[in-house]
Chain A
Amino acid sequence: DTAVSQTPKYLVTQMGNDKSIKCEQNLGHDTMYWYKQDSKKFLKIMFSYNNKELIINETVPNRFSPKSPDKAHLNLHINSLELGDSAVYFCASSQAARGYTFGSGTRLTVV
């Protein structure tokens, strides 16, 4: 049983397309996150949701829109994809800081 699962694992798409990445956690955590890891391996938070409510939006272009239908799911929709969006996107969840768990990542390649 995967604690934080995200799909797809790989995503190759053309510039200008719209794509979504899905994330689900079965840990009962209240808070979910999206992180981006760039080509230099640097990880940075994009969004955080607590019980379906957006609490962090870290200066991410508005082409990125997170959606949380319930506290177990946090999806990331990206409009008008650009070359610079190529990265690995990680979903994570936590209940308290100690229990931070990451998904296995989605490698997005925009061509």
Chain B
Amino acid sequence: AQKITQTQPGMFVQEKEAVTLDCTYDTSDPSYGLFWYKQPSSGEMIFLIYQGSYDQQNATEGRYSLNFQKARKSANLVISASQLGDSAMYFCAMSYQGGSEKLVFGKGMKLTVNP
């Protein structure tokens, strides 16, 4: 069965600093996808970044990068130059690409960016 673990319940970071949000996963499937979503207090789920299990390079999207370490089964999100608007819940998720593409989510973690 697939499982996503986010052990940090909350983090605080100073504005303009970089921050790493941890995510480990467990699956026996060779083909899978890893996602990060942001959920601000307004409630919507905002897609940040995606990494396929066969992608050779770590994914990057603007200030977001995914530190994908396949052997360690980790998919940490790195946010460079934090902004006040980055304060939100962050969810790591995994898809099983065997057909259904359902997402399995971690518990999420709350990031607070301080001025």
Contact = CB atoms under 8 A, between A and B. Distances in A.
Interface of A: 31, 33, 35, 40-45, 48, 55-56, 58, 88, 90, 92, 94, 96-98, 100-102, 104-105, 107
A98 B45 contact: no
Interface of B: 33, 35, 37, 39, 43-45, 47, 50, 52, 89, 91, 93, 95, 97, 99-105, 107-108
B43 A107 contact: yes
Contact of B47 (A33, A56, A58, A101): A101
A43 B91 contact: yes
Q: Chain B interface secondary structure, helix, strand, loop or mixed? A: strand
B44 A105 contact: yes
A43 B37 CA distance: 12
A97 B33 contact: yes
A42 B97 contact: no
Nearest to A90: B45
A41 B39 CA distance: 10
A105 B103 contact: no
A44 B3 CA distance: 12
Contact of A43 (B44, B47, B50, B105): B105
A56 B95 contact: no
Contacts of B93: 43
Given A98-B33, A98-B52, A31 B101 contact: yes
